[in-house]
Amino acid sequence: MTASAIAVARRVVARWEFVLVLLILAAGAWSTTQSRFFLDTENLLDLMKPYVFIGLMALGLTLVVIAGEIDISITSTLAVSAVAFADLWDHGLNIWLSCLLGLVVGVGLGAVNGVLIGLLDLPSLAVTLGTLAAYRGLAFVILGGGGAITGFPSDFTRLGLRDLGSTIVPIGLALFLAATAVFAFVLHGTRFGRYVYAIGSNREAARFSGIPVDRVRITLFAISGLMAAAAGLLYASYFATARADAANVALLDVVAAVVLGGVNIFGGSGTILGVFLAVVLIAVLRNGMGLANISGEVQSIVIGSLLLGAILVGNLLRAARDRHTGRGFLMRIHERRLQRGKHNRPPSTRPGLGIGPTKGAR
C-alpha cells in the first residue's frame, strides 16, 4: 500500500461518518440476534418507513443548526401542516392541491420563526419554544379541539405504504434519499451552503464580508418549515390519519439524528451524510429494540444517552483540536519572533567584523 493510500485511509477512518457506519453495523449485528429475519432485504428497507418523516425534519434542522440556530417547533409545524392539508381535503379540495397548500402552510410557519429570529434578532431557542406550543395549539384549533381526519384516497396513502414501481424500495424512502441528495448538493456545493457555514462560524464576520445574514437565516427557517410540512404529509400517508398530536414525541429522534450525525451544536460544521447515517442508526436501533420487546420508555433512554454521548464526544474532540491549533499557533508566533530577532540583530563591533573601519585603518 502506497503512502498516499495510507493517508487517505487514515483520513477516512478519522471521520465521524466512519464511526457511524461501525455503529450501524454493530446495531445490525445485535438486531440479527433478536430475529433471523432482520437481514432480509425487504425488512431492511421497510424498517426505514416509519423514520422517513424523522429524516426529512432532520435535513431541515441540519441547516438551521449549522447556521448556529435551533428550531424545536418542527414537530408542531408538522402537525399544523398535516391537519391543514387534511381539513382542506375534507372540505372537498383536490387531494394534491391540498398537499401543495399544506406545504405552503409549513413554509409560512417556518418563515414566521425566521422573521422573529432573523429580523428582530430574538434568540431562536426562546422563539421556537414559544411556537412549539403555539403551533401545536393551532393544530387542535383547526381540528375543532381534537379527533382525527381519516379516509384518504389510496393514491395518497401509497406514498407512505407502497413501493416505487416494480422495485422493493418504499416510495417514502426514495423521497428521503432524493431529498438527502438535494440537501447535500445545496450545503456542500453551492454558495448558499458556504453562507450557512460562514454564518454558523462567525455571524458578524459573515455580515461584514457581505453575506446577507438576515435573509439567509429567514430562508433557513422557511426551509425547516417546508421539510416539516413534507414530513407531515408522509406521516399522514403512512398512518392514514391526520391528528393534532401527530409526532409529539418525535423531537428527541430528530435532534438526536442531527447531533449524532456530527453537526456542531454551536454551528459552523456538519455534513448531510453524517445526518443520513444517524437516521439509519436510530432506525436500526429502534427496530432492534422493538424485536427485543424493549419498551418505548427504555428506547427513549437509549436514544437520549446517545444524544448526550454525541455532545460529550463532540466537545472533547473540539477541545483537543483547539489545544492542538492553539499550540501550533503559539509555535508559529515564537518562530516568527526568532526570525525577526535574527534580522534585527545589531552588527558585530569586534575588530575586523564590523561594517565600519577598524581601529587604526587608514
* Architecture of the domain defined by 15-320: Orthogonal Bundle (1.10)
| 276-310 residues labelled b (16+ CB within 10 A) or e (exposed) | bbbbbbbbbbbbbbbbeebeeeebeeebeebbeeb
The tens-digit pLDDT sequence of the chain (362 residues) is 677 767 767 777 778 888 899 999 999 999 888 888 788 887 888 888 889 999 999 999 999 999 999 999 999 999 999 999 999 999 999 999 999 999 999 999 999 999 999 999 999 999 999 999 999 999 999 998 768 999 999 999 988 888 888 888 889 999 999 999 999 999 999 999 999 999 999 999 999 999 999 999 999 999 999 999 999 999 999 999 999 999 888 999 999 999 999 999 999 999 999 999 999 999 999 988 888 888 888 988 988 898 888 888 877 877 776 676 555 545 555 566 666 665 555 555 555 444 444 444 44
pTM of the model: 0.85
Where along the chain do its domains lie?
15-320
